[in-house]
Structure 1
Amino acid sequence: MFVNQTELASIKSSSSHSPDQGKQSRLIWALCLASVVIYINLYTVQGMLPLIAEHFDVSGAQATLVLSVTSFTLAFSLLFYAIISDRVGRLKPIVVSLWLLACSNVLLIFTQDFDALVWVRLLQGILLAAVPAIAMAYFKEQLAPEFMLKAAAIYIMANSLGGIAGRLFGGLLSQHLSWQQSMGLVFVVTLIGVAVVTFLLPRNEINPQTSIGASSSKYGRKAKMIDDLRGFWLHLSDAKMSLAYLIGGLAFMMMVNQFSFIQLHLMAAPYELSRFNATLIFLCYLSGTFASYLSAKWIVRFGSIALFKAAFLLMLCGSLLTLVDTMWAIIFGFLITASGFFLSHSCCNSFVAIRATQHRAKATSLYLCSYYLGAALGGPFLMVFWQEAKWPGVVMGSLVLLLMLFIAIWLLSRGSLNQHSAVN
């Protein structure tokens, strides 16, 4: 298994401080709320795809690109924030990016055409990346060891709740408000959320600088860049880390884009649901929220390999169940798929955070880069299947991704079992 006594001990050895419990709670609440703000801004447009298609006079399939382009710039911006936060600390990049994100929503209010919308969403992808790139490294540095897994599980649960809130919020807005009114309300909600996060975040960081930041005065710019590249290569050359990155990317590539195309399916015959009613399918994320909450206990008890296999089976069964093509089959299918995905995501996130003993923000950002790059590539990939065979085609494309996921988990389990035998 991934999380054995050796790896759990690495958390304790990496953190010798005993931070104030009140500050720890404030940090957890602040980063979880920041996560909700981030995912509301990322996924509100996914719940508004029909309105976007109508307002900007594009097809429903084209409208899904609004989510893909944001995920694309978000993915690569994660690497930038990993470097920045290693040098200047975790607090400043989070606060600055959140306030700029709130301001960027003003641009959406005045967006007149689809191309301009795409450009603004590209910009927002850069600003959205700070919190997910830094949060896990921030937790590991600031929290007592016994809180690490629990904080990671709560944070992933907040991700899930933010995703649900954003999509349902978008569906509700598209049902009752115009585009400009909707974006104005998103701006207000974001502004309030960012203000509360700024208030909650502890001002004093414990050992905020990593090896790069601590030694920045000793090296020139070229040496720093080389050290940054070595940090990324350190994790990319770790076979287990790379497989965890691949697993997260493939799982998200399938799951998040299934939720985009199922809306189009539910709004067509024979279901013909309204815009808002179609977005209620995102309530199926709640099964993922529950799985995320329990994941810390399950990882310690069963090990990540067993959970990865269980998550794969859940995603496979959930996807196939939707082919029955009744409302209840679709709902239960997505409940099963969401629980499997978030279980897999929690395992990947915890493993990366625990395994990285140096260049921590880079390790997390590489995982999330793969994760969001999967989301960006999954839209165009599954769109081809949608255009050829509608929802059954999307399921067929998902099975291709699940086959690759199965191979990655199998390779990971071989290496993990060998290590577990050596440890014992």
Structure 2
Amino acid sequence: MTEFTPTLRSHAETRLIWALCLASMVIYINLYTLQGMLPSIAEHFDVSGAQATLVLSVTSFTLAFSLLFYALLSDRIGRLAPIVMSLWLLAASNILLAFAQSFDALVWVRLLQGILLAAVPAISMAYFKEQLDPVFMLKAAAVYIMANSIGGIAGRLLGGLMAQYLSWQSSMGLIFIVTFMGVAFVTYLLPRREIKPSVIKEKINWRRKAKQDFNGFMFHLSDTQMRLAYIIGGLAFMMMVNQFSFIQLHIMAEPYGLSRFQATLIFLCYLSGTFAAWLSAKWIVRYGSMPLFRVALCLMVAGTLLTLVDTLTAIVVGFLITACGFFLTHSCCNSFVAIRATSHRAKATSLYLCCYYLGASLGGPYLMLFWHKAEWNGVVVGSMSLLVLLLVTIWRLGKHQKQVIDVSEVD
């Protein structure tokens, strides 16, 4: 195996990677800041802590299906324009959060933001694959996922700080300022020229375009290995991101009694995932995806079970292990989908991320049922049921890959 030491080929490539990574951080700060404010949201809008988790679920739901729209749009008009336009509209939408007078109004604004948040994750991997060398694309993808993690951590910690020290209106004003500055810098960094998808150059009628789009989605959905990769990512995120929502409620209650900001420090456990994402490209090249999927599953099982030990230290260590396993899974899925997609690349990525965020949106209501029955112990039971499904899916993917290899050897 050759040494994995890709180098940048141009200044434009450097700017593109920095721009999309910063855009990713802006997206995940906006997506997850309110997750760090869940106890404050419950108090401000007079709803239960469990009900407040719906703020994340509804945003993930509209984000999931909007990914498909941006995949189609970017195949038509290019990757650059949808990213820039959606980011500026996202910055403007934060003004609406400051004027939300009820929980229902907050939910409606978050539904809108889910649509705007989808452009960057839907387009970025296809953008990388079209602009970068195939080998270096793996490294860029790993850095991009690491930026996702950093953005998620920053957003949640920012939310915890604001919930502790600022009013609702002041908090939303600060989010607007942070987003505005980030979007301005992304716009500056993004290269002004791009390699346009070939379909843009074709002069075809709308009926033929619609048929091509449908066939593009079906092309990937008819691929068994792609479908299984989509399910793996969705199940993993369904469990992990919602565990972080409910653990805040658990450690703010007795016997822990942490403050709002102290509870959000649990999100620092994402740093183990950040580190795993950074190393994942090298590991994927060296070992392949399937062994890493199995290792990641074991880590998520071990980390989840460890949180049942009735100490704060065990909970923190458990979440460090779980986050490492999850981001390793996510990196493997992202790379698997990007490399396997030889055509309709944005559609392949958007289908994966649609399942990924749909899992997040369904996981909140699903684990809420277990929370109401037995609080954190119930959440662990619900999580283990998802991990069993994940085990079956990984086993099926490995079995299918082995069958393909056996057939190719016979031929």
TM-score, length-scaled by structure 2: 0.97
- Please say if 1:269 is aligned against 2:248: no
Equivalence for 2:302 = 317
Rounded Cα–Cα distance in structure 1 between residues aligned with 2:8 and 2:298: 40
Rounded Cα–Cα distance in structure 2 between residues aligned with 1:249 and 1:394: 17
Equivalence for 1:397 = 382
- Please say if 1:119 is aligned against 2:108: yes
Post-superposition Cα deviations, 1:25-64, rounded to whole Å, max 9, x if no partner, equal 0000000000000000000000000110010000000000
Q: Which runs of 4+ in 1 moved over 3 A?
A: 420-424
Rounded Cα–Cα distance in structure 1 between residues aligned with 2:163 and 2:368: 23
Rounded Cα–Cα distance in structure 2 between residues aligned with 1:317 and 1:423: 36
What is the 5 A alignment of 1:247-266? 247-266=232-251
Letter in structure 2 aligned against 1:314: L
Task: Kindly report the root-mean-square deviation, in angstroms, between the aligned alpha carbons of the 2 structures.
Answer: 1.5
Equivalence for 2:71 = 82
**Which of 33, 38, 51 is residue 62 of structure 1 equivalent to?**
51
Per-residue deviation, 1:19: 9.1
Which sits farther off after the overlay, 140-149 or 231-240? Answer: 140-149
Query: What runs of 5+ residues in structure 1 fail to find an aligned partner?
Result: 6-17
What is the 5 A alignment of 1:6-405? 21-206=10-195, 208-210=196-198, 212-215=199-202, 217=203, 219-405=204-390
Rounded Cα–Cα distance in structure 2 between residues aligned with 1:414 and 1:349: 20
Residue 115 to residue 159, structure 1, CA distance change in 2 (3 Å)? same
Per-residue deviation, 1:220: 1.1
Rounded Cα–Cα distance in structure 2 between residues aligned with 1:198 and 1:222: 34
User: Would the aligned equivalents of 1:64 and 1:260 in 2 still touch at CA under 8 Å?
Assistant: yes
Letter in structure 2 aligned against 1:209: P
User: Would the aligned equivalents of 2:67 and 2:351 in 1 still touch at CA under 8 Å?
Assistant: yes
Post-superposition Cα deviations, 1:347-385, rounded to whole Å, max 9, x if no partner, equal 000010000011100000000000000000000000000
Rounded Cα–Cα distance in structure 1 between residues aligned with 2:323 and 2:254: 25
Post-superposition Cα deviations, 1:393-421, rounded to whole Å, max 9, x if no partner, equal 00000011001000000000001123334
Rounded Cα–Cα distance in structure 2 between residues aligned with 1:199 and 1:20: 20
Letter in structure 2 aligned against 1:114: F
Post-superposition Cα deviations, 1:133-152, rounded to whole Å, max 9, x if no partner, equal 00000000011223110000
Per-residue deviation, 1:331: 0.4
User: Would the aligned equivalents of 1:66 and 1:121 in 2 still touch at CA under 8 Å?
Assistant: yes
Per-residue deviation, 1:422: 4.7
3-state SS of paired residue (1:372)? helix
Rounded Cα–Cα distance in structure 1 between residues aligned with 2:404 and 2:164: 54
Letter in structure 2 aligned against 1:376: S
**Which of 366, 390, 412 is residue 397 of structure 2 equivalent to?**
412
Rounded Cα–Cα distance in structure 2 between residues aligned with 1:325 and 1:248: 30
Rounded Cα–Cα distance in structure 2 between residues aligned with 1:420 and 1:351: 16
Letter in structure 2 aligned against 1:250: L
User: Would the aligned equivalents of 2:8 and 2:14 in 1 still touch at CA under 8 Å?
Assistant: no
3-state SS of paired residue (1:324)? coil
User: Would the aligned equivalents of 1:29 and 1:200 in 2 still touch at CA under 8 Å?
Assistant: yes
Per-residue deviation, 1:68: 0.2
User: Would the aligned equivalents of 1:19 and 1:142 in 2 still touch at CA under 8 Å?
Assistant: no
Query: What runs of 5+ residues in structure 2 fail to find an aligned partner?
Result: none
3-state SS of paired residue (1:48)? helix
TM-score, length-scaled by structure 1: 0.94
Per-residue deviation, 1:214: 2.6
Rounded Cα–Cα distance in structure 2 between residues aligned with 1:387 and 1:167: 24
Per-residue deviation, 1:196: 0.1
Rounded Cα–Cα distance in structure 2 between residues aligned with 1:256 and 1:214: 40
Letter in structure 1 aligned against 2:197: Q
Rounded Cα–Cα distance in structure 1 between residues aligned with 2:140 and 2:405: 26
User: Would the aligned equivalents of 1:71 and 1:375 in 2 still touch at CA under 8 Å?
Assistant: yes
Rounded Cα–Cα distance in structure 2 between residues aligned with 1:35 and 1:417: 35
Per-residue deviation, 1:284: 0.3
3-state SS of paired residue (2:307)? helix
**% identical aligned pairs:** 71
